[in-house]
Chains A and B, each alone.
Chain A
Amino acid sequence: MARHECDVVIIGGGITAAMVSQKLAELRPAWKVIVVEAGKRLFDVENRFSYRQRSLDYGENQWPGDFVADQGARGLISRTMAVGGSALHWGGVCNRFSEEDLRMKSLYGVGVDWPLDLDWTDLEKHYCEAERRLGVSGEDSPLPEDKRSEPYPMPAMTKSFNLIQLESWAEKSGIPFWTTPQAKNTVDGYGGRGKCRRCNTCEICPTGARYSPDWTFKQLLEGKKIELHDQSIVRKLVLDDTTTRIVAARAAKEDGTDDDVEYRARTFVVTSGYCWSSHLLLLSANSRFPNGLANSSDHVGRYMNGHLAYQTTIDLDLKIYPGMNEQHSLISRQFFRCRTDRPYVRHDLRVWENGGGRGPQLRDAGGRLLLGDALVADWRTRLTRGTARVRGYYAVEPDKESRLTLDPAAKNKWGDPLPVIQHRVDQATQLRASATREHFQTLFADLAKANDGRMANVSNLSYQDHPGGGCRMGTDPATSVVTSEGRTHDHENLWVVGSPTLPTGGCTNGTLTFVALALRSTTAIAR
Chain B
Amino acid sequence: MRRPKRSSVNRPIIRAVQRRTVLQSIAGLFAVRPFARLRGLSQTPAPANLTNENIRALRAIADVVLPASIGAGARDRAVAGFVTWIRNYKEGADRGHGYGSATLAAPSGPSPAARYPAQFAALDKAAEALGIASFAGLPLERRRPVIEAALNTPQAVMRLPARPTGANLVADFMGFYFNSADGFNLAYNAAIDRDACRSLEGSDRAPEPRRT
Measuring CB to CB, which residues of chain A are less than 8 angstroms from any residue of chain B?
A: 54, 56-67, 69, 72-80, 89, 157-161, 164, 186, 195-200, 206-207, 319, 321-325, 355, 359-363, 367, 369, 371-373, 375-376, 379-380, 383, 462-463, 465
Contact = CB atoms under 8 A, between A and B. Distances in A.
B159 A362 contact: yes
Nearest to B159: A362
Nearest to B75: A372
B184 interface: yes
Most chain B CB within a 10 A radius of its CB, from A62, A65, A372: A372
A197 B158 contact: no
Interface of B: 64-69, 85, 88-90, 93-97, 99-105, 108, 144, 147-148, 151-152, 156-160, 163, 171, 174, 178-179, 181, 183-184, 186-188, 190, 192-201, 203-207
Contacts of B97: 61, 67, 78-80
B47 to A, nearest CB: 18
A182 to B, nearest CB: 12
B90 A198 contact: no
A185 B152 CA distance: 50
A74 B101 CA distance: 9
B181 A319 contact: no
Contacts of A160: 203-204
Interface of A is mostly: loop
A367 B127 CA distance: 26
B102 A376 contact: no
Contact of A58 (B89, B101, B158, B194): B89
A259 B181 CA distance: 50
Contact of B187 (A65, A78, A369, A376): A376
A362 B99 CA distance: 30
A319 B192 CA distance: 13
Contact of B174 (A206, A319, A362): A362
Contacts of A186: 200
Given A60-B90, A324-B192, A198 B179 contact: no
Contact of B95 (A60, A195, A379): A60
Contacts of B108: 58-60
Given A195-B200, A376-B186, A58 B103 contact: no
A69 B106 CA distance: 12
A197 B198 contact: yes
Given A323-B194, A373-B67, A375-B67, A60 B200 contact: no
Contact of B199 (A73, A161, A198, A322): A198
6 contacts: A161-B207, A198-B197, A198-B203, A321-B188, A322-B184, A371-B148
A488 B147 CA distance: 69
A463 to B, nearest CB: 6
Nearest to B174: A362
Contacts of A76: 102
Contacts of B194: 200, 322-323
Q: Is the interface of B mostly helix, strand, loop or mixed?
A: loop
A359 B179 contact: yes
A89 to B, nearest CB: 7
Contacts of B105: 61
A323 B90 contact: no
A199 B197 contact: yes
A420 B7 CA distance: 81
Contacts of B66: 372
A360 B179 contact: yes
A60 B147 contact: no
Given A161-B203, A196-B200, A198-B197, A323 B186 contact: no
A321 B64 contact: no
A200 B193 CA distance: 10
A514 B25 CA distance: 67
Contact of A207 (B144, B197, B205): B197
Nearest to B206: A161
A367 B101 CA distance: 35
B152 A369 contact: yes
A447 B133 CA distance: 61
Given A74-B102, A372-B68, A64 B151 contact: no
B192 A323 contact: yes
A371 B150 CA distance: 13
B203 A325 contact: yes
A442 B160 CA distance: 36
Given A75-B102, A206-B197, A58 B93 contact: yes
Nearest to B64: A371
A58 B163 contact: yes
Which of A65, A198, A207 has the most C-beta atoms of chain B within 10 angstroms of its own C-beta?
A: A198
A369 B151 contact: yes
Given A196-B200, A198-B203, A61 B94 contact: yes
B207 A324 contact: yes
Contacts of A379: 178, 187
A383 B188 contact: yes
A306 to B, nearest CB: 11
B104 to A, nearest CB: 6
A319 B206 CA distance: 9
B128 to A, nearest CB: 23
Contacts of A89: 99
A322 B158 CA distance: 24
B77 to A, nearest CB: 15
Contacts of A61: 93-97, 105
A57 B95 CA distance: 12
B93 A60 contact: yes
A383 B187 contact: yes
B30 to A, nearest CB: 14
Given A58-B90, A60-B96, A80-B97, A360 B201 contact: no
Nearest to B177: A360
Given A199-B197, A200-B194, A369-B148, A463 B100 contact: yes
A73 B95 CA distance: 19
A371 B97 CA distance: 35
B67 A321 contact: no
A60 B95 CA distance: 4
A77 B200 contact: no
Nearest to B62: A372
Contact of A321 (B85, B195, B207): B207
Contacts of A375: 67, 174, 178
A360 B66 CA distance: 12
B167 to A, nearest CB: 13
Contacts of A54: 93
Contacts of A58: 89-90, 93, 108, 163
A66 to B, nearest CB: 7
Contact of B171 (A69, A362, A383): A362
B29 to A, nearest CB: 18
